[in-house]
Structure 1
């Protein structure tokens, strides 16, 4: 039994929907289909989700929203016309798009989520009807009816553990169930979306809930590459990853799969495969609990931008009890999350994402470090990128870090920091952003040239 999720690019047009239908019909084990909102048909097009954001902005400003409503409705109608069938669901879709402009604006924490979720919700209605029209019995299931009950955290919903019993009941359905991704419903009956890449999370939740044998995530690439194809020409394709490896790679910039999506499937011990809607016969990349055979020490190299480092020095820092706690307390009081914390005996650096800071927060951090902790030196360094080499097999190979640092040295890449966790699944290098691409190419050459 398989749960199959399709991304926005897989559902952008009638021709793509035709491919999706053929994929689902080809395997009777594909009993649950999770869908995103329609993506771009071409580079100049607009995603339905982006159109819904514009609609929302016009509505809260009090502007005329007719053009926004018409564009979104016409987008669904265009797919129906191209597919050549009369969709009864179009009346419901049009009404639901217009009804968004009747929702209360004041004291409505879930208004934005309600607008965003409409893209997936209406696409699921249309796809279920199209499947049935083509002779594959299918039924649209709203997340509330599916049992996807979530926490009341707008834009960052989390599944409630009690939901899984209700989701498991979906196994009893005879037809293919089409479920909109990206959102759930709170106990108070409010639409609440997951964080970015939320349709991946829905697919993972459904797969865990129905105890699927496989969670298929269809996108527009042949699985996962060992490095970013925009930087590395024709990168090596990865056949198999463990959940821990995928988590590290997703964190450090691999955007094929949202890192939060891994959690429900990981806990449910359900293997996952990334496949290509446009090339469904390609085996894709399997994500499993443990490797099925011997692998390379490094399976992938990821890079991500927009990091900053808070650097501080204090003589005899290591002898001061509670120093690290006091530093982290400053960040906690300012509601700042940190990512990494490399240390020396008299030095401490805290790496965090640029979005966590504002000029006022930066000023306050430096002030408190100097006045409360009496550091000798404190500075905040911007324009940093992290590069991670990832592989569970690294711990059984001597010299992986040495190979990496030698490759970077040969290309005159200056390392700001190196960090490795106790699990030895990854090694992180911090470099200046302008040196990121050069560093990534050097590391790829060192580990994958053969």
Structure 2
């Protein structure tokens, strides 16, 4: 069995959904199809998810919601009319939206999640109906009672019981159309996954049914070694390991959500990232291991929006428990950290800026001063993390020196260097306004005129 997931641009219109049907029909092993909400049909279009957020905001503000509901339903009407489906399914969608708008608003986040999730849920109903209408026996399956997720307040993840329940779908003779992005707690509360949530749903299903392959359809032919919006004609990546993809996805590769790799990684199920608009292209395969090439670096990525907490104290290295106490202060503010480079007398804690507020920063600094009696403590903002990733980096000497020299030639200061024990990635912390020129310089160093 093959589980395949289609992203927002792949299901944005009737023409795109027709392509999806042809892809699914072309291989009888494609028995489970995970779909996103309709995405943008053009660069100036609005995603259905954004329309639903607008609807949720209007409902919470006790403003007029009927016009907002109509706008959402009209997007589906455009799709269903072109697909030759009747009015009935649009009536179902309108009723569903009104029921969600009338739902419990005591928890604002859950209320908004419920409306956002309707995008995937209702699109799955439309696509299942279309498949059946053209002679492809299919049925919509709701995540309720199947994709069981954890309770609040932790971020959403599938509990072990979800895999046991979803395993029953492995024996299906029909095509299952399953909405991505969300699941339900045992108490029936709808919760959404983080960004890229449909990728996560597809991966969970592939793991649960022991699929031989998880296909992730998007709008590009493959994963590129660098952002093509910054680097001209970057090299294509034909094959990449789970670890490499995890590092690149974490550091800003938007093609595949880093968290989505975990379920298939545990089972060793390969992933193939392919293009809905060019399904014959081989795409990029994500596999447990691969043969190394002459190129040590597989990809280079940049992610922005980081802040650094600098802490300095003489003889810090001799103070037992200092690091634990420091990170506990950060933890108690509900903040996760990304890197902790350190020296004898200083340590930096790098975190996502969006987790911080002025009040949190002030409390953290005061507690560190009062409880850890440091010499200096302060925050700095506006950093980016430039990440070089490659399984071949472990066997390549002088790579860090080459990267640092390429950056230094630009006259740019490196604020942080971090290499994990796996030696699959090398991270440079730099000021955000230099990220593009650094990416270009590193690509030139490691990819131009380098044999594959």
TM-score range, shorter chain: over 0.9
Is 1:155–1:192's contact at 8 Å kept on the other side of the alignment?
no
Post-superposition Cα deviations, 1:347-386, rounded to whole Å, max 9, x if no partner, equal 1111111112111121222222323222222221111111
- Which stretch shows the higher mean deviation, 324-333 or 340-349? 324-333
What CA distance in whole angstroms lies between the structure 1 residues aligned with 2:154 and 2:232? 36
Tell me what 1:310 maps to.
309
Tell me what 1:300 maps to.
299
Indicate the SS of the match to 2:79: helix
For the pair 1:71 / 2:66, whether they are aligned, the reply is no
Matches within 5 A, 1:422-441: 422-441=421-440
- Which stretch shows the higher mean deviation, 367-376 or 392-401? 367-376
Post-superposition Cα deviations, 1:413-438, rounded to whole Å, max 9, x if no partner, equal 21111011111110100011111111
Tell me what 2:239 maps to.
240
Tell me what 1:4 maps to.
4
Indicate the SS of the match to 1:372: helix
Tell me what 2:217 maps to.
218
Count, aligned residues: 449
Is 2:101–2:115's contact at 8 Å kept on the other side of the alignment?
no
Tell me what 1:159 maps to.
158
Indicate the SS of the match to 2:303: strand
Matches within 5 A, 1:40-439: 40-86=40-86, 88-106=88-106, 110-144=110-144, 147-153=146-152, 156-292=155-291, 294=293, 296-439=295-438
Cα displacement (A) at 1:191: 1.6
What CA distance in whole angstroms lies between the structure 1 residues aligned with 2:279 and 2:335? 43
Is 1:272–1:287's contact at 8 Å kept on the other side of the alignment?
yes
What CA distance in whole angstroms lies between the structure 1 residues aligned with 2:215 and 2:20? 12
What CA distance in whole angstroms lies between the structure 2 residues aligned with 1:399 and 1:292? 22
What CA distance in whole angstroms lies between the structure 2 residues aligned with 1:303 and 1:289? 24
What CA distance in whole angstroms lies between the structure 2 residues aligned with 1:171 and 1:244? 28
Tell me what 2:23 maps to.
23
TM-score, normalising length: structure 2:
0.96
Is 2:292–2:391's contact at 8 Å kept on the other side of the alignment?
no
Is 1:155–1:195's contact at 8 Å kept on the other side of the alignment?
no
Cα displacement (A) at 1:87: 5.6
What CA distance in whole angstroms lies between the structure 2 residues aligned with 1:125 and 1:293? 44
What CA distance in whole angstroms lies between the structure 2 residues aligned with 1:357 and 1:105? 26
Indicate the SS of the match to 1:184: strand
Is 1:157–1:195's contact at 8 Å kept on the other side of the alignment?
yes
Q: Once superposed, what is the RMSD of the aligned Cα atoms?
A: 1.5
Unaligned runs of 5+ residues in structure 1 are none
Q: Structure 1 367/170 Cα, relative in aligned 2: closer, same or farther at 3 Å? A: same
